[in-house]
Amino acid sequence: MTFEAWLTLFTVIVTIVILVRDIVPPAVAVLGANVLLLILGITTTGEALSGFANPAPITVAALFIVARGVEKTGALQPLIRGSLGNGKSVRGGLGRLLLPTAAASAVLNNTPIVAMLAPQVADWAEKRDRSPSWYLIPLSFATILGGTITVIGTSTNLVVSGLLEAHGMAPIGMFEISLIGIPVTLLGIGILVLAAPNLLPDRRRARRHLQEEIREFAYQAIVEEGGSLDGVSVEEGGLRHLQGVFLVEIDRRGETIAPATPTTLLRGNDRLTFAGRLDMIRDLQTMPGLASTEEKHTTAFNGTEHAFFEAAVSGASGLVGRTLKESDFRQRYQAAVLAIHRAGVRVNEKLGSVKLKEGDTLLLISDRGFADRWRDHRDFLLVSRSGGTPPAHPRQAVVAMVVTIGMVAIAGLGIMPILHAALIGALLMVLTGVIGAAEARSAVDMDVIILIAAAFGIGAAIESSGLAGLIGLGMVTGVSNLGPFAVLLAVTLATVALTELITNNAAAVLIFPIAIASAQAVGADPRPFAIAVAVAASASFLTPIGYQTNTMVYGLGGYRFGDYARLGLPLTLLVILTILLVVPRVWPF
């Protein structure tokens, strides 16, 4: 094993550890590893930057814009509302929901699909006294399954297609991967429909917990005229850093001030609403300048200028690892956090001292424009307003769907390459006014684009250093008596395991050169191994952090960490079994 191979192996291991421990955002970790390998001389400048010239990241960026246009116009909403039905049969509702969702995910990025549909599905379920937890994990899993149907269904497919092209092989055709994606999706949806009501427990979403527990921590008090709090700011009055409770809003002669900032001046007869733990309310009852109203409310917020929101913290957010106080949350977002839900339950600690984690759901109150300001921001995976989503734009919805269908048809019929079709689709979304130029820029998740492009450099290092050949030879030697089929199994299992630990795109790029080297070692065609990597890298069903859409529904469905494996294990086994049965027959060794 050469010195360069050892350096590359060490760099890859450190990168995986950083990604698993979420020390820095994935894009930073992968880009940093790419730069290090370049500096060490493992890769050339051309190899390190090869991903930035590859069609894959540009195609993914264009598809983000197309998907944003469909999401904004609500083009899929009528279809989903009609599919859900009256809710009398859980399995019937699941079947009607998951089939069109998977079909949409075959041509659109699944993240905006889940962002658009998950809050609606949760509201629909609660209005019919159904547990949202029976629907939201299946919704996420269906979009993952649907992404395997076409090459544009998920960025991972495009990454593997770009890697094939970079290695002098034909890219994956628009519907080539459908030969395995369709059976995986149909069988997977069958498992979801049959098993979800039995395997998923009855959980409640975070907002339901808040509504049911609000009487436990709602307290109102009046500022006494001429008292010690009359005319001073919230901070000066000692109401900024209370133990276990905090000031949510101020009612001043019918005018609601929410959130109350540290500099907000208090006036006599102001009605203050506090939220927090009931056992801490006694501190407020003895505070000079406050007079208790002696009222308990099942709902503490009645203003017309503000609303409840649920916001799921993204792994790429600067909030991760910091407290609300450290991030100056109220000032930065103009919102007050009422509660933090983690693993389906409310965190019963002082909110300002809780270090936030990826997937935490923040229950907050803000002005009605909060969702519009922060929906596309990297800090939040999902922003959902209580009470549903705004109505769709019918005319623009038609334009968005026509553009999307046209893009798929052009690429599918081979009229032009997928990259060209995607760029035209993105351009038309802007030119027709479906989305503005600023919205198009914000729709592109640059972390994903940088991660994909930078990961190509690491893949090149694994190959050029000889590491891929060595690992491939070792893998082949261990199963040499069993032939290519055993190697295919080993590659598939390695990809499935890695994609649960790091992002699916990074997993695909790291395993790809090893899969190609393994195929060459047994004298097999590399293509079936590449297809297996693409499908297996998308099979992230076991944890809420394995795939972005899984994290998005984590708090919304009130889930616990282990809920995902209950339903995800059968799907993972299905994907592995289908790869082993279908790939060798459709793409012979």
pLDDT tens per residue across span 558-585: 787 788 888 999 999 999 999 999 999 9
d(CA 504, CA 127): 35
User: Would you state the pLDDT for residue 303?
Assistant: 43
**Residue 309 reports pLDDT greater than 60:** yes
**Residue 527 reports pLDDT greater than 90:** yes
Residue 290 lies in a domain: yes
Residue 8 lies in a domain: yes
Residue 7 lies in a domain: yes
Give yes or no: residues 319 and 339 share one domain. yes
**Residue 517 reports pLDDT greater than 90:** no
**Residue 396 reports pLDDT greater than 90:** no
Percent of the chain at pLDDT > 70 equals: 82
Tell me the range of 157-166, 457-466, 480-489 where mean pLDDT is highest.
Answer: 157-166
The pLDDT of 485-508, averaged and rounded, is: 84
**Mean pLDDT score of the chain:** 79
The pLDDT of 474-493, averaged and rounded, is: 76
Apex 491 CA angle, 487 and 494, nearest 5: 135
**Residue 552 reports pLDDT greater than 70:** yes
Give yes or no: residues 216 and 342 share one domain. yes
Domain assignment of residue 363, given as a range:
204-391
Q: Which residue has the higher pLDDT, 22 or 12?
A: 12
CB 60 within 8 A of CB 158: yes
User: Would you state the pLDDT for residue 394?
Assistant: 61
pLDDT tens per residue across span 453-479: 887 888 788 878 877 666 666 665 666
Q: Which two tokens stand for residue 324?
A: 């609300």
Q: Which residue has the higher pLDDT, 328 or 292?
A: 328
User: Would you state the pLDDT for residue 184?
Assistant: 94
Residue 403 lies in a domain: no
**Residue 191 reports pLDDT greater than 90:** yes
Question: How far is CA 400 from each of CA 267, 341, 431, 522, rounded to the nearest angstrom?
Answer: 51, 35, 11, 47
3-state secondary structure 197-220: HHHCCCCCCHHHHHHHHHHHHEEE
Q: Which residue has the higher pLDDT, 504 or 532?
A: 532
**Residue 244 reports pLDDT greater than 70:** no
- Spatial neighbors of 409 by CB under 8 A, at least 6 apart, are none
Among 391, 422, 455, residue at a domain's last position: 391
Q: Which residue has the higher pLDDT, 428 or 482?
A: 428
Per the structure, how many domains does the chain have?
Answer: 2
User: Would you state the pLDDT for residue 349?
Assistant: 66
Give yes or no: residues 428 and 503 share one domain. yes
The pLDDT of 409-432, averaged and rounded, is: 86
The pLDDT of 419-438, averaged and rounded, is: 88
Among 327, 359, 391, residue at a domain's last position: 391
3-state secondary structure 503-545: CHHHHHHHHHHHHHHHHHHCCCCHHHHHHHHHHHHCCCCCCCC
Give yes or no: residues 226 and 194 share one domain. no
d(CA 369, CA 375): 10
Give yes or no: residues 270 and 302 share one domain. yes
Give yes or no: residues 130 and 241 share one domain. no
Residue 530 lies in a domain: yes
Q: Which residue has the higher pLDDT, 479 or 46?
A: 46
Give yes or no: residues 61 and 164 share one domain. yes
Give yes or no: residues 107 and 16 share one domain. yes
Residue 339 lies in a domain: yes
Q: Which residue has the higher pLDDT, 424 or 218?
A: 424
pLDDT band of 215, cuts 50, 70, 90 = very low
Whichever domain contains 330, its CATH number is 3.30.70.1450
**Residue 251 reports pLDDT greater than 70:** yes
Give yes or no: residues 248 and 289 share one domain. yes
Tell me the range of 158-172, 323-337, 381-395 where mean pLDDT is highest.
Answer: 158-172
**Residue 305 reports pLDDT greater than 60:** no
Tell me the range of 212-226, 251-265, 333-347 where mean pLDDT is highest.
Answer: 251-265
User: What's the order of all strands across the beta sheet hosting 380-385?
Assistant: 345-346, 335-342, 361-367, 306-313, 380-385
Residue 45 lies in a domain: yes
The pLDDT of 311-321, averaged and rounded, is: 81
Give yes or no: residues 299 and 196 share one domain. no
User: Would you state the pLDDT for residue 206?
Assistant: 52
Give yes or no: residues 179 and 300 share one domain. no
**Residue 589 reports pLDDT greater than 80:** yes
User: Would you state the pLDDT for residue 22?
Assistant: 67
The pLDDT of 186-201, averaged and rounded, is: 90
Residue 502 lies in a domain: yes
- Lowest-confidence region among 41-55, 199-213, 292-306, 405-419: 292-306
**Residue 185 reports pLDDT greater than 90:** yes
Tell me the range of 143-157, 375-389, 480-494 where mean pLDDT is highest.
Answer: 143-157
pLDDT band of 80, cuts 50, 70, 90 = low
In the numeric block, the tokens 């922003």 are attached to 383
Give yes or no: residues 97 and 213 share one domain. no
